[in-house]
């Protein structure tokens, strides 16, 4: 039974009776889970975001997006406190009724679905180059064909994992994914120091700001969104209070910002204006260290895919059925979503545009707008009172980013050069290999 809501910092917020022995998370464990939910596949596009925005301004935007993420996560819990709810969906439904619930459900479906498409594109980009390091596998080999690799990874890994009915069976995936992602970040930093000085910077590489910076906000929003896990992690705390939750959020988002900024700067400073939506497209095929990074990141994506799929399937089935699915229905729905997602990723291969659209259409309203409008609706007193100023600014900013970002993405899409070996790879020293005697 829920306790009486309280908006005072340090008091216990919404809690529910749980069976005896139900495990609670320590602060460290909660922070780890939160960091892992933020640091995922989205970081691969952050160097491209700096290429769009300019290095100094891009870093400033990254900090701002992290701050907004931190603020809106806390705002969600405050909104749950005011409304007596304990999930994102119930908060929105309680605040704006069934129409609000439908809008949120659509956005929450759209985000993981487009994310899965980006995962498949990434798998096709990275693993084809990994396979080409196998003796006898050249650019014309079937293992170097992105369509075949995407279908192969789907049939061999993502589809079988997605057929599980219970997400708890994927519990060990998070730790593996986190380790692989941190390994990828480390490799990017190493190659920035060893490879970057050998690649001539492009014109205006160090410009403070660039005109298409709004598109970068979409990519950054995609990388930082973690709101769907907020209530779950909050509810698992040993001491679920606003003060405790704020500390967990600050530490988690701050740590994620440091890791993300390190990867973004390392990637961009290595390739400057040549930086692509998938940073691994910039590394040469015969770069062994980068190949290991591709392998780590590709495996991380494969293990992360089912986690997003569970959200997509649950939202789909809840909209169609009002009961648990039979085994046959479960398989049919799973296959249908996988087939549609895979088909789109086979047709389109420019990762940067996919990240931009998902960030602009899904992540931006889920981070900027919805938590803010829920809090404003639930807040008592005058609309423009002190605590409402920042939520109002976030709503206006979110609408501006959505409208402007979508317009610019459609008018000025990424110039994708998938699979094309970059010109600097002709230099043996740049590729990280020793030229033959």
Q: Which of 350, 354, 395 is closest to 377 using CA atoms?
A: 395
Lowest mean pLDDT among 66-80, 127-141, 261-275, 408-422: 408-422
In this prediction, residue 410 carries a pLDDT of: 79
Higher local confidence (pLDDT), 169 or 178: 178
Across the range 390-405, mean pLDDT stands at 90
In this prediction, residue 126 carries a pLDDT of: 85
Across the range 393-397, mean pLDDT stands at 92
The reply to whether 44 falls in a domain is no
The reply to whether 413 falls in a domain is yes
| 246 contacts 233 by C-beta, under 8 angstroms | no
The reply to whether 97 falls in a domain is yes
The reply to whether 31 falls in a domain is no
Q: What confidence category does residue 356 fall into, taking pLDDT thresholds of 50, 70 and 90?
A: confident
Q: What confidence category does residue 415 fall into, taking pLDDT thresholds of 50, 70 and 90?
A: low
Q: Which of 368, 359, 363, 365 is closest to 408 using CA atoms?
A: 359
Percentage of residues in the chain having pLDDT higher than 70: 83
The reply to whether 37 falls in a domain is no
Boundaries of domain holding 381: 50-431
pLDDT digits (tens, 9 = 90+) for 259-293: 899 999 999 999 998 888 888 888 888 888 989 99
Across the range 344-365, mean pLDDT stands at 82
Q: What is the phi/psi pair of residue 412, to 5°?
A: -130, 70
Q: Which of 52, 48, 49 is closest to 279 using CA atoms?
A: 48
Q: What confidence category does residue 153 fall into, taking pLDDT thresholds of 50, 70 and 90?
A: very high
Please tell me the number of Cα atoms within 13 Å of 16 on its side-chain side: 14
The reply to whether 39 falls in a domain is no
Q: What confidence category does residue 8 fall into, taking pLDDT thresholds of 50, 70 and 90?
A: very low
Enter the tokens of residue 66: 């992290």
Percentage of residues in the chain having pLDDT higher than 90: 19
Across the range 108-120, mean pLDDT stands at 85
Residue with tokens 């293992």: 143
pLDDT digits (tens, 9 = 90+) for 134-151: 888 887 889 888 899 999
Could you count the other beta carbons within 10 Å of the beta carbon of residue 166? 8
In this prediction, residue 335 carries a pLDDT of: 92
Q: What confidence category does residue 186 fall into, taking pLDDT thresholds of 50, 70 and 90?
A: very high
The reply to whether 344 falls in a domain is yes
Enter the tokens of residue 428: 């043996």
- pLDDT score of 22 more than 50: no
Could you count the other beta carbons within 10 Å of the beta carbon of residue 60? 15
- pLDDT score of 417 more than 70: no
Query: What CATH number should be reported for the domain holding residue 54?
Result: 1.20.1740
Lowest mean pLDDT among 63-72, 265-274, 319-328, 403-412: 319-328
The answer to whether the pTM exceeds 0.75 is: yes
The CA-to-CA distance between both ends of the chain, in Å, stands at 76
Residue with tokens 């991380």: 300
Distance of CA 43 to the CA centre of its chain: 7
* Overall domain count for the chain: 1
- pLDDT score of 435 more than 70: no
In this prediction, residue 357 carries a pLDDT of: 81
Higher local confidence (pLDDT), 273 or 177: 273
In this prediction, residue 38 carries a pLDDT of: 77
Q: What confidence category does residue 3 fall into, taking pLDDT thresholds of 50, 70 and 90?
A: very low
């Amino acid at each position: 039974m829920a306790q009486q809501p309280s908006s005072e910092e340090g008091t216990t917020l919404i809690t529910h009776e749980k069976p005896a022995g139900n495990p609670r998370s320590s602060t460290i464990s909660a922070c780890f889970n939160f960091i892992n939910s933020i640091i995922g596949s989205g970081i691969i596009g952050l160097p491209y975001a700096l290429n769009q925005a300019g290095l100094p301004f891009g870093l400033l935007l990254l900090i701002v997006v992290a701050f907004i993420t931190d603020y809106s996560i806390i705002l969600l819990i405050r909104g749950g406190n005011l409304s007596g709810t304990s999930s994102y969906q119930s908060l929105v439904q309680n605040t704006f009724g069934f129409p609000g619930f439908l809008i949120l459900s659509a956005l929450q479906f759209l985000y993981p679905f487009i994310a899965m498409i980006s995962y498949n594109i990434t798998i096709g980009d990275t693993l084809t180059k990994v396979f080409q390091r196998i003796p006898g596998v050249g650019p014309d080999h079937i293992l170097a064909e992105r369509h075949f690799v995407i279908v192969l990874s789907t049939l061999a890994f993502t589809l079988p994992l997605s057929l599980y009915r219970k997400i708890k069976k994927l519990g060990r995936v998070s730790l593996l994914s986190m380790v692989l992602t941190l390994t990828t970040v480390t490799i990017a930093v190493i190659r920035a120091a060893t490879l970057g000085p050998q690649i001539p910077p492009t014109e205006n590489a160090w410009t403070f700001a660039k005109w298409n910076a709004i598109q970068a906000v979409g990519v950054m929003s995609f990388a930082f969104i973690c709101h769907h896990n907020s209530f779950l992690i909050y509810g698992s705390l040993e001491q679920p209070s606003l003060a405790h939750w704020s500390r967990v959020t600050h530490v988690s988002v701050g740590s994620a910002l440091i890791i993300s900024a390190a990867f973004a700067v390392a990637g961009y400073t290595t390739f400057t204006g040549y930086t692509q939506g998938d940073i691994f497209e910039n590394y040469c095929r015969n770069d062994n260290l980068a190949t290991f990074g591709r392998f780590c990141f590709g495996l991380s994506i494969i293990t992360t895919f089912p986690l997003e799929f569970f959200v997509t399937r649950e939202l789909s089935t809840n909209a169609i059925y009002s009961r648990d699915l039979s085994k046959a229905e479960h398989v049919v729905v799973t296959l249908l979503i996988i087939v549609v997602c895979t088909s789109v990723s086979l047709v389109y291969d420019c990762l940067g545009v996919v990240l931009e659209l998902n960030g602009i259409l899904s992540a931006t309203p889920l981070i900027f707008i919805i938590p803010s409008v829920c809090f404003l609706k639930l807040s008592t007193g005058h609309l423009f009172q002190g605590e409402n100023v920042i939520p109002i600014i976030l709503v206006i900013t979110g609408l501006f980013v959505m409208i402007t970002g979508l317009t610019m993405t459609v008018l000025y899409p990424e110039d994708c050069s998938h699979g094309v070996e970059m010109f600097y790879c002709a230099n043996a020293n740049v590729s990280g290999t020793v030229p033959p005697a």
